[in-house]
Structure 1
Amino acid sequence: MRRISARAERWPLAAAFVIARGAKIEAEVVVVEIADGAHVGRGEAVPYARYGETVDGVLAQLAEVPREISRDRLQDILSPGAARNALDCALWDLEAKQKGVRAWTLAGLSRLDPVKTCLTISLGSPEEMAHAASAEARRPMLKLKLGGPDDLDRVEAVRAAAPKTRLVVDANEALSFDDLQRLAPELARLDVQLIEQPLPAGHDAELDGYDSPVPLCADETLHTRAELAACRGRYAYVNIKLDKAGGLTEALALKREAQAAGFEIMVGSMVATSLAAAPAMILAQGVKVADLDGPLLLARDREPGLTVTGSMLEPPSSELWG
């Protein structure tokens, strides 16, 4: 008889993580374990207040799940979000252990390559962001959190501090369309590679007919395949996250459909431990932009965690996941 258990954990961050919506000093995660008597599968997810989720609410959802749930059935009984993600990833892990193969084999891959992640620079004063960027200037890509229409000085300060690093900016819905039209040419001048979710979700129609000088990426706008059609003609990239999609099962299906529709893929994550990042590495194979730096932002990671060499995440051990 299988046993499903779930618990909340708190992981301190190395420094405050600040975005347009607020700041956090710790990662609050939910860990699911599924035991069959011989093996234990694990998954981790982050309840996100932006989507109306709480730790208690996610734990309550998980308490109602039947013990013999399958990945296929799970897609029907839980809506996309953190609860389904944690359970879905635990089921992947359990199946891999039961069959004696790695999870990427179950996903149809012959191997799992290391993933190069960008590193996030939290929102702060131009001087603070430049100082943080200077310390990380040798990384191949930095992602800058923006807070509003007056952030050009922040990007200019970071570009001066890290002149050779590829830059992505993430507005977290903080701009208006007028702000975007004004800022985008300046960001192109500063060689910014991508603007993530400039407008609030639900305002995407304002992008119809707009030819941005910097490619735009949908994040809060897109969770699952259901929102993909609304991104066509408005965004060049879509950011796929396991917590938004509700697990690796839906995320892989979304990636396939998005690529078939001509979108470039960004794979993102919430701030969490290596247990959350490990399954996302399967999703991140071959994508142009990976933002899986959650474990790098923690004061300490779980053991065993992912091995990180510079900005390269090495494939997880089977003891960690998959």
Structure 2
Amino acid sequence: MELSHAFLDIPFSLPYHFARASLLATRLVRVELRDGDVRGRGEATLFESPFPDPKAATAEQVEQARVAIGQGAGREDLLTLLPAGAARNAVDAALWDLEAKRSGRRVWQTIGLPEPTPVEDMLTVSLAGETQFVQELKDSQGRRALKLKLGSEEDVERLELTRAHRPDAELVVDVNCGWTPERLVAMLPVLARHDVRMVEQPVRPEHEEALRGLPRPVPLIADESFYAEEDLPRIAELYDGVNIKLDKCGGLTAALRIVAQARQRDLRIMVGCFAATSLASAAAFQVAHHAEFRDIAGHLILTEDVQPSMPCVDGWLSPPTPELWG
């Protein structure tokens, strides 16, 4: 088998603002695994990589995988061969896709899921300036599930403006570590008043001990505090749920293990993503059946996408076709 990879940068349709950064583009690694005339593909984003030089580390890890796969390594072997992150996610996805293409058996069948149907995905409203923020709210008409980025001095006003424009929305908020524990306590009744269903990562990881035993009317979901399977015991003591991102945990194989363990710990499950094309969304879609909250259509905020893509109509994301992935 032959394993190759390439890096590419794709701009966002609009500048993407949140509490910790403002971004204009996403950097992706795309992997192709060929076995004769059959090929499997995978894709991941290098955003929030734990490595000082994400591109160099990713290239090195893909090369490790290439050698190991040539010696017969499979998906389960990757869990110990490579660290959690983008490289393992992309290679893992390519292995899943290649297996499906060889066998004619879809990934959802191999996992043991029912035949997939469209799932409702949430639309993110970014932490932009007022003009872009209001336009994003207006553009959200027709989408029932919204994720509102917070983490500024104007958070109360943003919630009020959101409810003025979208009183009908099923609303969650993502703070991206933007609050102190004291700010969180002050905001909890405000969130409840605006019928917010959950809060994603309200405080920085170094402040999360303040969450232990904290009464809250709204569940708290770990994102920046949660990276991979080994984090679950700590997270279960502090949060009500986890956001599983394939780019962080290292692929679909790892994500399915996390789902099983999260259920054993009575944690609520969200499946999220970083911005990437439909090729990455396709792998994340395989976890959507298990999730209460879904934010996996990162391809919708990019200026380019692979074809065939995954259409999203009024917030309902269609499953990937065999031609795309899996």
> Normalising by the residue count of structure 2, what TM-score does the alignment of the two structures yield?
0.94
User: Is it true that 1:207 corresponds to 2:206 in the alignment?
Assistant: no
77-86 or 125-134, larger mean C-alpha shift: 125-134
Residue 57 of structure 1 aligns with which residue? 57
CA drift at 1:122 = 1.0
Residue 308 of structure 2 aligns with which residue? 304
Q: Which runs of 5+ in 2 are unaligned?
A: none
Secondary structure at the residue paired with 2:205? coil
299-308 or 174-183, larger mean C-alpha shift: 299-308
For residue 27 of structure 1, what is the amino acid of its counterpart? Answer: T
44-53 or 312-321, larger mean C-alpha shift: 44-53
CA drift at 1:262 = 0.7
Secondary structure at the residue paired with 2:238? coil
| Contact 1:7/1:31, CA 8 A, preserved across alignment | yes
Residue 253 of structure 1 aligns with which residue? 257
Alignment equivalent of 1:115, drawn from 112, 116, 119? 119
CA drift at 1:269 = 0.4
CA drift at 1:192 = 1.1
| Contact 2:16/2:128, CA 8 A, preserved across alignment | no
Secondary structure at the residue paired with 2:276? coil
Task: State the distance in 1 between where 2:256 and 2:290 align.
Answer: 13
Task: State the distance in 1 between where 2:186 and 2:154 align.
Answer: 10
Secondary structure at the residue paired with 1:202? helix
RMSD, aligned α-carbons: 1.5
Task: State the distance in 2 between where 1:50 and 1:160 align.
Answer: 37
Secondary structure at the residue paired with 2:161? helix
Residue 165 of structure 2 aligns with which residue? 161
CA drift at 1:54 = 1.9
1:172-214 deviations in Å (ceiling 9; x for gaps) = 1111100100111111111111110011123221111101121
| Contact 2:49/2:86, CA 8 A, preserved across alignment | no
Residue 29 of structure 2 aligns with which residue? 30
Task: State the distance in 1 between where 2:3 and 2:290 align.
Answer: 33
User: Is it true that 1:92 corresponds to 2:96 in the alignment?
Assistant: yes
Task: State the distance in 2 between where 1:50 and 1:318 align.
Answer: 29
Residue 105 of structure 2 aligns with which residue? 101
1:216-257 deviations in Å (ceiling 9; x for gaps) = 101111122211111224222211110111000010110111
CA drift at 1:108 = 1.4
For residue 218 of structure 1, what is the amino acid of its counterpart? Answer: A
| Contact 2:118/2:317, CA 8 A, preserved across alignment | yes
For residue 18 of structure 1, what is the amino acid of its counterpart? Answer: H
Secondary structure at the residue paired with 1:64? helix
CA drift at 1:131 = 2.8
| Contact 1:243/1:269, CA 8 A, preserved across alignment | yes
Secondary structure at the residue paired with 1:198? coil
User: Is it true that 1:144 corresponds to 2:148 in the alignment?
Assistant: yes
161-170 or 141-150, larger mean C-alpha shift: 141-150
The count of corresponding residues between Structure 1 and Structure 2 is 321
| Contact 1:147/1:171, CA 8 A, preserved across alignment | yes
CA drift at 1:137 = 2.9
| Contact 2:199/2:221, CA 8 A, preserved across alignment | yes
Task: State the distance in 2 between where 1:281 and 1:39 align.
Answer: 23
| Contact 2:278/2:297, CA 8 A, preserved across alignment | no
Residue 278 of structure 1 aligns with which residue? 282
Task: State the distance in 2 between where 1:300 and 1:224 align.
Answer: 29
For residue 22 of structure 1, what is the amino acid of its counterpart? Answer: A
Distance 1:254 1:307, change over 3 A: same
Residue 232 of structure 1 aligns with which residue? 236
Task: State the distance in 1 between where 2:299 and 2:197 align.
Answer: 24
Residue 287 of structure 1 aligns with which residue? 291
Q: Which runs of 5+ in 1 are unaligned?
A: none
CA drift at 1:64 = 2.5
